[in-house]
């Protein structure tokens, strides 16, 4: 019962701020609303007992990506006048992407509907998570990242990608060397 109320509240917060992101004309406020939306998703992870995922969401999406977005806004727009039209020339492309995402999600969720095994009513309580499973979850996550039978290849590919991005950033920021001859 409490979980469902929490879920509805978090969903309202997440979707409401997401709507604010795309409709507000002040870019800085839109970026802040994006953070609230990310935090709402983290809250949903917590109600699903996925604490590690929730914290990773906070650390990566709010602590890094959103701050990067805000920095980009502050560096590129005129101070305190960052009022923009919410639509630009990419609007049809954006609509296309949104529709495709919606169709994919609808198909995937529709295939597994109803998701919960005991989803008789909306207010049925969620099945409790085995505390034994919960206590070692972080260690198992770490092991499966480096396990050849699990996710070692995606994990390493992601590391190489990040390293390449890091080197690329350094190359871009490197001061131009004057030709001395």
Partner 1 sequence: MNLYNYASQTPVLPAIPPLMRDIIGVVVISTFLLLIAIVLIWLMRKVIARMQKRIGPNRVGGRYGLLQPVADVMKLLTKEQITPAGADRWAYELAPILIVVASLIVWAVMPFAPGLIGVDLNIGLFYIMAVSSVSVVTFLLAGWGSNNKYALLGAFRAVAQLVSYEVPFILAMLVPILLARSMSTVSIIEDQTVPYLFVVPLAALIFFISALAETGTTPFDLLEAESEIIAGFHIEYSGMKFAMFFLAEFLGALFMSALFSTLFLGGWNIPIINLIISLFGGQPIDLAAMGIAGTIIGLFVFLAKTFLIYFVFLWIRATWPRVRVDQILSLNWKVLVPISLVLILVVAILDKMIPEGTTELVRAGLFLASNVLIIFVALEIMRRSARRQRMEVAGMETVDSGTHEITEAAAAD
Site for partner 1, rule CB under 8 A: 2, 28-29, 32, 35, 51-52, 55-56, 58-59, 62-64, 66-67, 70-71, 74, 79-80, 134-135, 137-139, 177-178, 180
- Report, in Å, the least distance between residue 137 CB and partner 1: 7
Residue with tokens 């949104």: 98
Name the residue nearer to partner 1 (CB basis): 80 or 85. Answer: 80
User: Least Å distance between CB 123 and partner 1?
Assistant: 17
Nearest to 56 by CA among 38, 75, 34, 37: 38
| Residue 120 or 132 with smaller CB distance to partner 1 | 132
Q: Considering the complex, state which of residue 21 and residue 35 has its C-beta at the smaller distance from partner 1.
A: 35
Neighbouring-strand partners of residue 26: 83
CB of residue 122 to partner 1, shortest distance in Å: 21
Minimum Å gap between C-beta 135 and partner 1 is 6
Cβ neighbors of 49 (< 8 A, separation 6 or more) are 129, 134
CB burial of residue 63 (10 Å; 0-12, 13-18, 19+):
middle
To partner 1, the closest distance from the beta carbon of 91 in angstroms equals 27
Question: Of 67 and 99, which CB lies nearer to partner 1 in the complex structure?
Answer: 67
Instruction: Specify the 3-state DSSP secondary structure of 83.
Output: strand
User: Which of these, 75, 87, 76, 35, lies nearest to 58 by C-alpha position?
Assistant: 35
């Amino acid at each position: 019962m409490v979980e469902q109320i929490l879920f509805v509240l978090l969903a309202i917060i997440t979707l409401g701020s997401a709507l604010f992101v795309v409709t507000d004309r002040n870019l800085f406020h839109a970026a802040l609303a994006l953070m609230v939306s990310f935090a709402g998703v983290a809250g949903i992870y917590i109600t699903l007992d996925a604490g590690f995922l929730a914290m990773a969401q906070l650390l990566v999406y709010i602590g890094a990506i959103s701050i990067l977005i805000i920095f980009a806004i502050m560096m590129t727009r005129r101070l305190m006048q960052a009022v923009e039209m919410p639509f630009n020339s990419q609007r049809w492309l954006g609509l296309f992407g949104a529709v495709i995402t919606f169709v994919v999600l609808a198909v995937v969720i529709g295939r597994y509907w109803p998701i919960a095994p005991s989803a008789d009513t909306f207010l049925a309580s969620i099945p409790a998570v085995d505390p034994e499973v919960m206590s070692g979850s972080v260690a198992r996550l770490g092991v499966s990242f480096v396990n050849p039978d699990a996710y070692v290849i995606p994990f390493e590919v992601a590391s190489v990608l990040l390293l390449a991005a890091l080197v690329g950033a350094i190359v871009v920021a490197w001061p131009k060397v004057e030709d001395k001859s």
